[in-house]
Amino acid sequence: MKKFSGVEICRFFCAFAVVICHYQFFFAPGRWNIDLIQPSDRVLFPLYGILSPLYDKGYFAVQVFWVISGFIFFWKYADAIHERSITAFKFAAWRFSRLYPLHFVTLIAIVLLQPVYQINHSEPFIGGPNDLQHFLLQLVMASNWFSVDPTTFNVPIWSVSAEVLVYTVFFLVVFTVRPGIIMCASMVLLVKQVHHGIPWLECMEFFFAGGLVQRILSRIDAKYYAIAFCGAICVAATVIIRGQLGFAIGGTPLLLLSTSVVTAFSLLDTVVRRDTTMLNRLGDLTYASYLIHFPIQLALVLIVDSIGIGRTIFTSPLMLLFFVSVVFFSSALIYHRFELPFQSIIRARWYERFGRASGAAPAPLRSSSFRWTSPRSR
């Protein structure tokens, strides 16, 4: 049966895009504001001639991440939740064990590192305000439920915080309403009218759009996959070309770009017809790379500042290669040595306490096992 190795590749590319985009943090002491970086400054970024799309627009990967999440959740959970074979206890256990341990560790890392940075600087490194109120919100992964400001403590976590709230809405909606094309489309249209840039509502729009993609593709005959793939490529190319002509990529164009990218990658194997199994595990690195790259940046800045080398060292392509290598090598170690073990421990304890309500405890889920068919048919 068909595996979604293309989705795993897409996840990795998105994580890579975010890491490259955030490499700019090295050149922006104090509170982050991307608008303060002038075009004349950007040419100093390492390999800017090659990586300029990622430096300039890599933050769009966040919306693609949200679409991927919706795609995956509707494939893996939606029908099972609606049919009551996945309970709220089980769903909460899976999500908590997957997201929280690494979030907690990286949050504490920033709590320890930022004061060291502020000893010799008037402002924290990029994030702020890093006060008790925002720490408590971060602690419960609610940092961006009530605010549009994404830059507190471990800066990238803002988009995960938005997703956490959307997970709850997702569960309630698919528990109540049959998760079909009409429901997904209705949610996208409804939220699009009311989100007004509020992070978790914007996340919800893209999340249910990902669900819409999954529901539509699951009903397309295999002989039309190539047509769907080409159509998705054309839509993505049209939006990108419009962006190059000076039109804004936001709102509906960004939604079309994100959904078409995920559609194309999800159909990649059906068109390319090559064995991409070895690439599946790239997707395993995405969550760790997303959360650890900012603490690694802060640690590197502290080292460079203490030695007195000067941050111009970060303009070197070798430094960019070093940073990216450290991030993804560390992500691989963290996934296998920290994330998976803690998933097993937390789920075992959770099911030991709530077993009657949630059923037997599953083994740690591997993201590389996605198939077009329902998980229950395996």
Q: CA-to-CA distance for 214 and 70, rounded, in angstroms?
A: 8
Task: Name the residue among 3, 12, 1 with its Cα closest to residue 283.
Answer: 12
Mean pLDDT of 327-331: 96
**In this structure, are residues 192 and 53 in contact, taking their beta carbons and an 8 Å threshold?**
no
Q: Which of 42-46, 141-145, 256-260, 280-284 has the highest mean pLDDT?
A: 256-260
Q: Which two tokens stand for residue 245?
A: 């002509």
Q: Calculate ∠ Cα 50-282-234, nearest 5°.
A: 55
**Each residue's pLDDT tens digit, 174-198:** 999 999 999 999 999 999 888 777 8
Q: CA-to-CA distance for 14 and 307, rounded, in angstroms?
A: 33
Higher pLDDT, 365 or 263: 263
Mean pLDDT of 281-290: 90
**In this structure, are residues 327 and 284 in contact, taking their beta carbons and an 8 Å threshold?**
no
How far is the first Cα of the chain from the last one, in angstroms, to the nearest whole number?
10
Percent of the chain with pLDDT over 70: 87
pLDDT recorded at residue 367: 43
> Does 267 score more than 50 pLDDT?
yes
pLDDT recorded at residue 262: 95
Helices H / strands E in the chain, number of each: 16, 0
Q: CA-to-CA distance for 310 and 26, rounded, in angstroms?
A: 11
Question: What pLDDT band is residue 378 in, cutting at 50, 70 and 90?
Answer: very low
Q: CA-to-CA distance for 154 and 22, rounded, in angstroms?
A: 12
Which 3 state secondary structure label does DSSP give 31? Answer: strand
Which 3 state secondary structure label does DSSP give 327? Answer: helix
**Each residue's pLDDT tens digit, 154-178:** 989 989 999 999 999 999 999 999 9
* Domain residue limits, the chain: 5-377
pLDDT recorded at residue 375: 41
Q: CA-to-CA distance for 172 and 195, rounded, in angstroms?
A: 19
Question: What pLDDT band is residue 374 in, cutting at 50, 70 and 90?
Answer: very low
**Each residue's pLDDT tens digit, 343-373:** 999 888 877 776 654 454 444 444 444 444 4
Q: Which two tokens stand for residue 85?
A: 């074979």
Count of all residues that appear for the chain in the document: 378
**In this structure, are residues 283 and 85 in contact, taking their beta carbons and an 8 Å threshold?**
no
Model confidence, pTM: 0.89
pLDDT recorded at residue 1: 35
**In this structure, are residues 176 and 313 in contact, taking their beta carbons and an 8 Å threshold?**
no
Higher pLDDT, 305 or 331: 331
